């Protein structure tokens, strides 16, 4: 007569993931005991449909093993197999011998991005806070999770990034630190001296690359009328000439004493990079970042005509390619197994460089500045209360037309929302849509498998 035996266990799976697995066995006492399944795990137990997941098991006394559903034959008392789920499913390992059969289930949950799609579709229109089009991409460390475009922005259309250009520019420049070509805390005047005719006034002698990338150099910010007009002239003035004009403006504060968000710091930083690399900015960026990431669409403009590319605001991209910058950060500077940026430089990007400094200018609407209290290299730190359900930190690089790229280090995801909203309300529109999208994304990434 068969004997029913209960096998229930609570398994701890990395990283900090609990999988409840209960099974039963039916054994013929005359033939000996049925197999014992000590462990059956699914890693990860929450994932995107269509992604490969790993099954691991430890079994004693089995002569045959099946993965259910599908009755997939596997072997090995301790073994590994891989499956590609089409959606949420309940898997099981079935172990058999002459004495009977033991079955242990495990749940596998596929993310459901239908709520995100609905939120995005609701942004299209002519009402307050709505836009004529968008392109959106959601990513984790492994690759794309979800993508959607709507309205008058197809997924393959280049979208002007405005200030969301800063993060890619920063990462390209930081490759020079990794190679020992520049140092973050060396006065940039030492590098500008490579151009003997370039005039770098003594009042700017303490400015470093760290200060330029963090907008703490003392140079005028975005709302300062002292900012040279060449910053928006990409075709009739060279990058060198614009940098020279910037060098001659009066400082708005002593170097290293205040945060003053703008673009002219990056124009100086970009000229330093091209001077040392002996390349125009577009070729430099291609060699240092776009090439290693396999990007073919991201652009600062044709170098034949754009001779003064806006290092802080002149980029254009599609969502899928911008996502690769975010994945590079999420993977600590490694892309598809290749080191592109050192871990130390990723840490610098994602470290608040403005602690203890006063703020002269921030790009956020006045009532929302408290939501973004810190700045790294090219990215703002989000206040923790903005992302309940995640420990963060969360970093972003918003653009004037509403483009919003962000990453969440605790949950290991990044997203980019490309918009072409109006200049007056673009940033606030992008922030509002981001606030609508965030809760649903966090919910999907934190729901348990069962």
Pairing of β 358-361 and β 258-260: parallel
**Is the distance from CB of 41 to CB of 11 less than 8 angstroms?**
yes
| DSSP 8-state secondary structure symbol assigned to residue 156 | T
Tell me the backbone φ, ψ of residue 148, rounded to 5 degrees.
-160, 140
Helix (H, G, I), strand (E, B) or coil at 28: strand
Q: Is the pLDDT of residue 28 over 60?
A: no
CA distance 296 to 423: 28
Report the pLDDT value the prediction gives residue 6, as an integer from 0 to 100: 27
Q: Pinpoint the alpha helices (H) of 44-153.
A: 114-121
CA distance 395 to 409: 8
Sheet holding 78-83, edge to edge: 36-43, 53-60, 78-83
Taking the CA atoms of the chain, what radius of gyration do you get in angstroms?
27
Q: Where are the domains of the chain?
A: 2-110, 114-446
CA distance 138 to 160: 19
Report the pLDDT value the prediction gives residue 30, as an integer from 0 to 100: 59
CATH 3.90.650.10 fits 114-446, yes or no: no
Q: What is this structure's pTM?
A: 0.89
Q: Is the pLDDT of residue 14 over 70?
A: no
Query: Looking at the domain covering 2-110, what would its CATH class be?
Result: mainly beta
Cα–Cα–Cα angle for 116, 448, 441, rounded to 5 degrees: 20
Q: Which of 19-33, 126-140, 221-235 has the lowest mean pLDDT?
A: 19-33
CA distance 397 to 50: 30
**Average pLDDT estimate for 232-242:** 97
Q: Which of 28-32, 211-215, 318-322 has the lowest mean pLDDT?
A: 28-32
Q: Is the pLDDT of residue 361 over 90?
A: yes
Report the pLDDT value the prediction gives residue 291, as an integer from 0 to 100: 98
Q: Is the pLDDT of residue 415 over 90?
A: yes
Which residue matches tokens 């749940």? 107
CA distance 300 to 288: 14
Q: Is the pLDDT of residue 350 over 90?
A: yes
For all residues of the chain together, what is the average pLDDT?
A: 91
Straight-line distance from the first to the last Cα atom of the chain, in angstroms, rounded to the nearest whole number? 34
CA distance 397 to 411: 18
């Amino acid at each position: 007569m068969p004997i029913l035996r209960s096998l229930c266990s609570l398994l701890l799976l990395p990283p900090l993931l609990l999988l409840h697995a209960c099974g039963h066995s039916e054994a013929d006492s005359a033939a000996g005991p049925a197999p014992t399944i000590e462990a059956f795990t699914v890693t990860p137990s929450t994932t995107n449909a269509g992604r490969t997941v790993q099954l691991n098991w430890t079994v004693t006394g089995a002569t045959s093993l099946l993965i259910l559903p599908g009755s997939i034959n596997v072997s090995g008392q301790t073994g590994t197999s891989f499956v590609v789920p089409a959606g949420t499913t309940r898997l099981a390992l079935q172990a058999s011998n002459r004495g009977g059969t033991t079955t242990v289930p495990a749940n596998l949950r596929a993310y459901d991005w239908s709520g995100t799609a609905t939120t995005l579709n609701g942004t299209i229109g002519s009402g307050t806070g709505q836009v004529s089009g968008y392109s959106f991409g959601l990513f984790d460390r492994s690759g794309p999770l979800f993508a959607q475009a709507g309205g008058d922005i197809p997924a393959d259309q280049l979208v002007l990034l405005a200030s969301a250009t800063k993060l890619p520019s920063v990462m390209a420049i930081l490759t020079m630190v990794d190679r020992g070509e520049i140092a973050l805390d060396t006065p940039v005047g030492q590098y500008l001296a490579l151009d003997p005719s370039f005039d770098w006034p003594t009042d700017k002698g303490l400015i470093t690359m760290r200060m330029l990338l963090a907008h703490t150099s003392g140079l005028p910010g975005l709302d300062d009328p002292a900012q040279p007009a060449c910053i928006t002239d990409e075709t009739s003035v060279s990058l060198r000439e614009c940098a020279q004009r910037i060098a001659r403006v009066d400082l708005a504060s002593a170097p290293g004493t205040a945060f003053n968000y703008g673009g002219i710091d990056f124009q100086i930083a970009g000229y330093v990079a091209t001077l040392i690399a002996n390349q125009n900015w577009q070729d430099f960026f291609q060699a240092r970042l776009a090439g290693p990431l396999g990007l073919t669409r991201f652009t600062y403009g044709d170098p034949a005509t754009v001779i003064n590319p806006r290092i802080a605001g002149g980029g254009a991209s599609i969502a899928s390619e911008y996502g690769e910058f975010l994945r590079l950060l999420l993977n600590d500077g490694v892309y598809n197994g290749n080191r592109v940026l050192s871990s130390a430089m990723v840490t610098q990007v994602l470290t608040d460089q403005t602690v203890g400094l006063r703020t002269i200018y921030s790009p956020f609407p006045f009532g929302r500045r408290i939501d973004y209290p810190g700045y790294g290299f090219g990215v703002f730190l989000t206040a923790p209360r903005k992302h309940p359900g995640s420990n963060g930190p969360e970093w972003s690089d918003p653009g004037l037309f509403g483009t919003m790229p962000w990453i969440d280090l605790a949950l290991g995801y990044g997203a980019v929302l490309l918009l072409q909203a109006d200049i007056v309300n673009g940033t606030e529109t992008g922030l509002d849509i981001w606030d609508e999208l965030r809760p649903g994304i966090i919910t999907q990434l934190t729901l348990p498998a069962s």
